[in-house]
Structure 1
């Protein structure tokens, strides 16, 4: 929905800029207007591609394997010394779980609990309208 609206707005901007360029013979104004349009469209494309970029599933699998092996090694070391450290084990499991959760959440900027503020773009939208 938002992507289609963005494309429609960009097309309308090109139409409006084309009209302004046809009516204005000054080359300096035309050049700066086109440069500004190009930069704004490049930024929009960069935002779209960065939101679409995801950490590969294989990386998540390796992270989970790493976490599991860490727990196994902790268990082995603690069993070797014939002592039980429930608090240390629980803290390590909690920290590893939190770190994996944060990585997964940051990888999904639209769906996760950690949201990037869009206030700057909303302010710009209000300014343009």
Structure 2
């Protein structure tokens, strides 16, 4: 359950730090540009402008690529939660197909399982011990449910009744495993670090180009840097399940829990 290094810092602090570094890089680039301005001819200035455009184009490419990766992972986690809610609901319905003496205990275990999954969805990924405790509880409930399903199949080996419940239970277990796996899937940290590096280099290039011209371009540079930093913030926040401003909506599981006997919403 080891998390990437950047996960220890909040999205806001990373973005704010990155923005400050851009401004520092821009100022350093401007001073260097001013220093070499007198020894730079128009051809070099034109070439510098072309390089600046290339760096900004590379930055745009990386932003689009990284945003797409983080959005795909966010959507996958959202779909996985909905799939798990549907799988649990199906298992609850098909529990009524079991022999009568198994129905009550199975329904109670499924309610406890649903409650555990709702609670686990509110635990931060950095709370390793709490996550382990919930995973152990979920594994225990899955084992008990599977034992009941096997016993019911031995007593009434009907594919239409017990077989339908076993299929639903298997899908429920698979959905839980898939959702857990998606929680640990992030945009590779090396991609984020590359994005940050290109972002800082672009700030330096903007400052250097301004220094060569001898004039500061403050407002456009600040606006562009702020907008890019805002996009970076969205990328990081999307990539952080159970942390940050953008979160997967847990309502599917909560509505299912409220619809069960004794459930509260």
TM-score, normalising length: structure 1: 0.83
Aligned with 1:56 (options 188, 191, 197): 188
Tell me the number of residue pairs that the alignment of Structure 1 and Structure 2 aligns: 129
Match of 2:146 in 1: 14
Match of 1:118 in 2: 250
Task: Give the whole-Å Cα distance in 1 for the aligned partners of 2:146 and 2:185.
Answer: 27
Q: Which moved more, 1:18-27 or 1:114-123?
A: 18-27
Aligned with 2:217 (options 85, 94, 109): 85
Query: SS in structure 2 opposite 1:28?
Result: coil
Aligned with 2:202 (options 70, 83, 92): 70
Please say which structure displays the higher CA radius of gyration. Answer: 2
Task: Give the whole-Å Cα distance in 2 for the aligned partners of 1:90 and 1:49.
Answer: 39
Aligned with 2:238 (options 102, 106, 111): 106
Give the direction of change, closer, same or farther, for the CA distance of 1:100–1:84 in structure 2 (3 Å limit). Answer: same
Which residues of structure 1 form unaligned runs of 5+?
Answer: none
Q: What is the RMSD of the two structures over their aligned residues, measured on CA atoms?
A: 2.1
Per-residue Cα deviation, 1:30-78 (whole angstroms, up to 9, x for no partner) = 3322221222111111110000112222112101101112212222333
- 1:90 deviates by 0.8
Match of 1:37 in 2: 169
Task: Give the whole-Å Cα distance in 1 for the aligned partners of 2:260 and 2:167.
Answer: 18
For the 8 Å contact 2:187–2:239, the answer to whether it is kept is yes
Task: Give the whole-Å Cα distance in 1 for the aligned partners of 2:191 and 2:150.
Answer: 46
Task: Give the whole-Å Cα distance in 2 for the aligned partners of 1:74 and 1:44.
Answer: 48
